[in-house]
Structure 1
Amino acid sequence: MSWETANRNLITKAISELYFEEIISQKVREIEKGLYTLKIEENLSYIFEAHKSIWCHLIIDESSLKRTDGLELDAARFFKEIQPLTKMNAITLANFLEEMLHTLYSDQVILKKRISSRKLSQLNYLEIESYLDGHPKIILNKGRLGWSPDDLSAFSPENDRKIQFYRVAIKKDLITVSHQKEKNFSEIIYADLEKEEINLLKEKLANKQCDVKAYYIIPIHPWQWENKIKIFFQKDISKKNIVFLASAGDSYKPHISLRTFSNYSNSYLYDIKLPISILNTSCVRGIPAHYVAVASEISTGMEAIIRQDNLLFNSNMDCLKDIGAFSYIEPSYKDIVGAPYQYKEFLGAVWRESSVTKLKEKEQCLMTGALSYLDERKKSLIGCLIESSSLTMEEWLEAYFKSVVIPIYHLQSQYGIGLVAHGQNTLLKLNNNIPSGLIIKDFHGDLRLNKNFPRETGKFFPDKIIKKLDILPSDHIIYDLITGHFISVLRFISQALFLSHGYKEKKFYNLLGMIVHDYEKKYPTRSKTPSLLTPNYHRVLLNKVRFIIGYQDTAQRPKPQLGNPLLNPLIEKDYFHV
């Protein structure tokens, strides 16, 4: 039944998110309390039980979904039926269905291994990620265009297999490198290799008549080598600028983000982020060279800000520093202005601190996006954590908001720093299942600056760093928190708590509103950051972007669209202590 269940779940998610994005909302009607229809044509509707959330999306009971014509639920048929509403042209629709089929293929793997939230709560952070469904907002969240079923079996997080990277020598004078000042780049890249392995790799390189001292030996994902590097860098390979050596080093396991890997042999050693140039969710997953030259300095600045700020330090906030990074753009593509971005992101790596190194005794962590996990009995992971803690629901949520939301908001309000705080780059620390702190990571692309950042921020970010960061208007960058965390993470956490414990969304956001209100009274903004308690929020649309731009190459990563404003669920008069 996994095929039927996967189709049912995907259609349910699509109706919910496309209603939120106002693409099908004019065709949806509540015909009686809690019973809705999506009218496709005169004699065809989808009918389902649902209620409207505080965020104006539909929380649907997927088991109730059916067609009025009696045909089985089929996701491909559904997306073809709503083509007049999505306005996808035929070429985009055909590509969309291919991405949908890839998503369904992986969805079935996850469905077959689904476990209870109680069991999930007992696993470590990396084990948890192999059970998760992926991005909750993006309908086709496991497209992975470019991977075959064999590739998925070998490399996807849900298959939970260990990976050993290829080791490749590359001429030192060709690549852009950055690293922490107290570290040697060779020390970083050889951290997961035994001394005997290093000697053996160098011996292999010397046997190919290469000057060992002129090269760095770096890891490359096996798929990337076979499918991209061997083709696009064949000139460098023929000239021995790039030399394949062997598979070597520790075993790794992938995060749900696909490109980031944790060391399975020694969890205290660095995570490694590698390009895997497949289209997944919104873009092709390479390593942008733009940030590599300053990657380590950005995270050093972030760490310095956290350590000297009383609120951030006392809230037990940490960041995972980028210890080292490198990038090499194939020369034939380097000078093509406006070339599709993926051609300049094939070869690179980022070495990052492991989250384990930031945990105190008895602490554990998990990505915040995992909290909304619901098992087959509609039991939520966050609910299990709360039940096994010593706190009430309100006490636990207050601890979460003060550990996660307030520190991220503080970075914006006091330093003009925006982190796109989605469910993967914000890690919740837990002590006896009680929120105890926050770890943030991934500062190349997900970290931006408010154009009104205060002078103090310049003490931590020199001009050469600021020039590499995206700088946005104050009223735009606040959406790194609102869309990144409120709408893409908290929206689904509050939904999960309602489904599993009947905890009303109004109470959830009432509590958050009071905490934000108290914070704003104590900390007036120093960067013209708009209040989180404004009457309306922008409705940021992600799925609509794909419908509009299709699947053709672009010089830049796709940007979101805007819909009609949302009423801010954090504000009602009775929320605040006046």
Structure 2
Amino acid sequence: MTVEPVDPARDATLLHDWLAHPASRYWEMGDLTPGQVRDYLTAVNDDDAQDGWLLRRQGTPIAYAETYDPARTVLDGVPPDVLDHRPGDLGMHVLVAPPPPAEGARGRIPGLTDAVMATVMRFCFATPGPGALRVVVEPDARNSAIHAKNAAAGFRVLRDIDLVTDGHAKRARLSICTRDDFAASPLGDGTGPLGAEPAAHLRPALAGAAHRHLVAKALAEFTHERLFLPEPVSAGTAEADGAATEAAREVTHDDPREYVLVLDDARGGGRVTYRFAARRYPLEHWVIDESSLRRTRTLPDGSDAGRAAPIDVLELVAELQPLLRVPEELFPVYLEELSSTLAGAMAKREREALGASPSSPGLVDALAGGDVAGAFQAVESAMTEGHPGFVANNGRIGFSLSDYRAYAPERAGRLRLMWLAARREHTHLSLGAGESESGLYGTASSAGELAGAERATFAARLAARGLDPDDYLYLPVHPWQWEHRVAITFAADVAREDLVPLGPGADEYTPQQSIRTLFNTTRPDRHYVKVATAIQNMGFLRGLSPRYMRDTPAVNDWVAGVVTGDETLRRAGFGVLRELAAVGYTGDVYHRTRDNNPYRKMLAALWRESPLPRLAGGERVATMAGLLHRDASGTALATSLVRASGLDAESWVRSYLDAYLYPLVHCLLAHDLAFMPHGENLVLVLRDHVVTRVFMKDIGEEVAVLGPRPLPERIERVRAVVSDDEKALGVFTDMFDGVLRHLSGILAADGVLPTARFWALVGEVVERHREEHPAIAARHDRGLGVDLRAETFAHSCLNRLQLRDTRQMVDLTDQASSLIYAGRLRNPIGVTVPA
């Protein structure tokens, strides 16, 4: 088939005959004369908001189609809660030629209407061509034949609406179809973009690479947490010579050496053997060469010794179950989280292979470009190791495949928040210093988190229900939360209008690595929004507690006051992104049960400052987790940044440590103030690819005051008085082991900077802080305070927490007592104290 512009003079008589046929009755143009049809086609051609097209089959005219801008023509009066008009929307009508009168039904060509519909849809999405992102149709609700054809092409029905066009009124069935919808439909041909197949990323080749990556990571991190110890293949080392286990664990070497791990197969009997090459660095950090992994099996009777077996992370964890000590009833939950992590790893590799996600050098180029917000989010979505220590770190239990496509951060999609009006008597809005309700939400004449028109529209929708807008506060929820929780779990609250759905907001957001935190893509200078999603991910149900949110802005104000009032922190450029407003609803029955429960964490949100308004010219931002990213080819972003900066590796690392380590050490030693400084909670500020300062975020849920210093009564909840040794873990566990261990391993393995020099630089930063703060040093010299140069520190294990209880790793009200330790790690900047 071919598609060409309609010619009114040439085609009017032909179209008149088609429209006059009874099969075309829903076009309601059967009473027009040929001249009127010519005038109609001319008007279509002269209107820049619509076009007419003639389809030919083997040269013979076979169908007529119209395309139009729905926001400017047929559907321009449809309200946004019915159809959210978007750039790239294209309306479409199609008319298939009836069979010649003399042939009647015998003249019908089998499959013709399918072929016409498929051709029209491919044409609508074609580039060059109309290049639609969504096709919109509004056929007569009585036209069952076209409804079936639309469904076959992937259209999803939104609702039936009353529509008047050109003086004709009809009940229309409003439907939409995206490129992915059509590509995956029965009429689609699989030539669409990502997601054209039901699960295009679940392919053997992608799975093989993802399994190898996760098996290498599992072997490295479980060994790091001392759940087992692979043995060297070659003799002549301290390990092979039977040295003490402690000494064997602390062996380091920069060259890759062969190791073996032999496991009894408790399920099927026999043995399983893993062989691989690995480098070993301080803090018992293993870097395993993924390509070197080999797995073999020996049957219980000793036969098939050394038979090659597939590399499979699920099989590995099942084989390791006796050593991992996962409770039997929770083991399937951990396997599900691991399966989801595997699927995510495949999807990330697919996106990069197809050019939808940049390589590490591509990210460096983006950070050098002019689109500051775009580069910021490109790094965020490209990330592969948001939490590098956790093996199952992308659980997302509760997300379907379509949810994954729509909401997973690595998909780099955009979404609109669903807004609820929450009855004020059951809802609390907390505001930070300098904030007001009208300033947060905006007014009918000025924009805040809602544009002026949105605020007016929401108020009008409440009034149309007979409700007073002043009786309500506005609560944003994730679209997944609306569909899966609010409309079902809180159905009674919606029915009694304590919660009133108002529809999607205008701004588009991009999900961050934590999934429930969203970046405003439409207005990047506006606030992040953090919402409850109530999915199970990495050992927790990811919700937000209204009770906890009540004091969050006050906690942030106090922390920001400490930071801005400290000369050392100001000089280091250290800043915090305040969570300056929070809202939570407690009118549901779940808040009246005797015990605390996860359902109390499903209806709350907070707003956090964006870093973009605080940047100077030439500065760029990126999540610190990006420093641990390797692309599909194995190229590390950190290595790429060092090489692009023009600095030597030591200077680059020193600048990074001055921005990251120095101020956080000062917060702990000077103020007993501990953050959760892992990669996702820091935003790096870069100039010319060099880290110059940082922003700390996620303050309210993560900060702790570890000493007796005075606090305002309402934020007393953040106090957790612990010993000096335990205070030191805020640096040792969260920074040395949680971040710097991985970064030093990347730079060493890439030949950029040996680990000895890396940790020497870390020691220099700690020592410089001591020299520049003699009062703190004097306290330490008297045997008081935190000792960051101690020889060893307690080895706190994250995977062991998740393996112990996959539903909730720690008690959030008493995290310290929930931790699991595996002996002590040798401090890479430790100083031996003479006996």
Tell me which residue corresponds to 2:501.
244
Unaligned stretches of 5+ residues in structure 2: 1-204, 235-255, 265-269, 297-306, 353-357, 367-374, 443-447
Deviations 1:435-476 (CA, angstroms, capped at 9, x unpaired) = 2111011112210011244xxxx3xx4122124544444332
Distance 1:427 1:121, change over 3 A: same
Deviations 1:323-382 (CA, angstroms, capped at 9, x unpaired) = 210122354332445433x22210111111101122111111212121121234433211
Contact 1:373 1:496 in 2 (8 A): no
Contact 2:426 2:586 in 1 (8 A): no
CA distance in 1, matches of 2:502, 2:659: 45
Task: Pick one of 789, 801, 824 that aligns with 1:565.
Answer: 824
Amino acid at match of 1:66: R
Do residues 80 (structure 1) and 318 (structure 2) align? yes
Task: Pick one of 184, 193, 197 that aligns with 2:454.
Answer: 197
Tell me which residue corresponds to 1:2.
206
Instruction: Give the alignment of 1:82-231 within 5 angstroms.
Output: 82-114=320-352, 115-123=358-366, 124-133=375-384, 134-190=386-442, 191-231=448-488
Tell me which residue corresponds to 1:311.
568
Do residues 275 (structure 1) and 537 (structure 2) align? no
The CA deviation at 1:562 is 1.0
The CA deviation at 1:285 is 0.9
Do residues 29 (structure 1) and 267 (structure 2) align? no
Amino acid at match of 2:740: L
Distance 1:192 1:551, change over 3 A: closer
Deviations 1:170-227 (CA, angstroms, capped at 9, x unpaired) = 1112112211232212331342322222211111111111111111122111111111
The CA deviation at 1:31 is 1.1
Contact 2:546 2:585 in 1 (8 A): yes
Tell me which residue corresponds to 1:485.
735
The CA deviation at 1:425 is 1.1
The CA deviation at 1:492 is 1.1
What is the aligned-residue identity percentage?
24
Amino acid at match of 1:80: A
The CA deviation at 1:568 is 0.1
Amino acid at match of 1:297: A
CA distance in 2, matches of 1:390, 1:310: 31
CA distance in 2, matches of 1:484, 1:406: 14
Tell me which residue corresponds to 2:698.
442
Contact 1:338 1:555 in 2 (8 A): no
Do residues 366 (structure 1) and 647 (structure 2) align? no
2:308 is paired with a residue whose SS is coil
Amino acid at match of 1:358: R
Tell me which residue corresponds to 2:798.
542
Distance 1:502 1:432, change over 3 A: closer
Contact 2:553 2:581 in 1 (8 A): yes
2:551 is paired with a residue whose SS is helix
CA distance in 1, matches of 2:259, 2:738: 24
The CA deviation at 1:411 is 0.7
CA distance in 1, matches of 2:334, 2:612: 38
Task: Pick one of 755, 759, 764 that aligns with 1:514.
Answer: 764
CA distance in 1, matches of 2:806, 2:411: 29
Contact 2:390 2:799 in 1 (8 A): yes
Unaligned stretches of 5+ residues in structure 1: none
Q: TM-score, normalised by structure 2?
A: 0.65
Tell me which residue corresponds to 2:490.
233
CA distance in 1, matches of 2:271, 2:415: 52
The CA deviation at 1:57 is 2.7
Amino acid at match of 1:125: F
Distance 1:337 1:197, change over 3 A: same
Instruction: Give the alignment of 1:494-509 within 5 angstroms.
Output: 494-509=744-759
1:420 is paired with a residue whose SS is coil
Amino acid at match of 1:509: W
Paired residues, what number? Answer: 565
The CA deviation at 1:478 is 2.8
Distance 1:59 1:330, change over 3 A: farther
Contact 1:416 1:529 in 2 (8 A): no
Tell me which residue corresponds to 1:52.
280
CA distance in 2, matches of 1:94, 1:278: 17
CA distance in 2, matches of 1:394, 1:247: 49
The structure with higher relative contact order (CA 8 Å, sep 6+) is: 1
Greater shift, 330-339 or 219-228, is seen at 330-339
CA distance in 2, matches of 1:308, 1:197: 38
The CA deviation at 1:573 is 6.9
Contact 1:420 1:447 in 2 (8 A): yes
Q: TM-score, normalised by structure 1?
A: 0.93
1:40 is paired with a residue whose SS is strand
Contact 1:274 1:349 in 2 (8 A): yes
Distance 1:212 1:377, change over 3 A: closer
Amino acid at match of 1:237: V
CA distance in 2, matches of 1:375, 1:59: 16
Greater C-alpha radius of gyration: 2
CA distance in 2, matches of 1:43, 1:144: 33
The CA deviation at 1:553 is 10
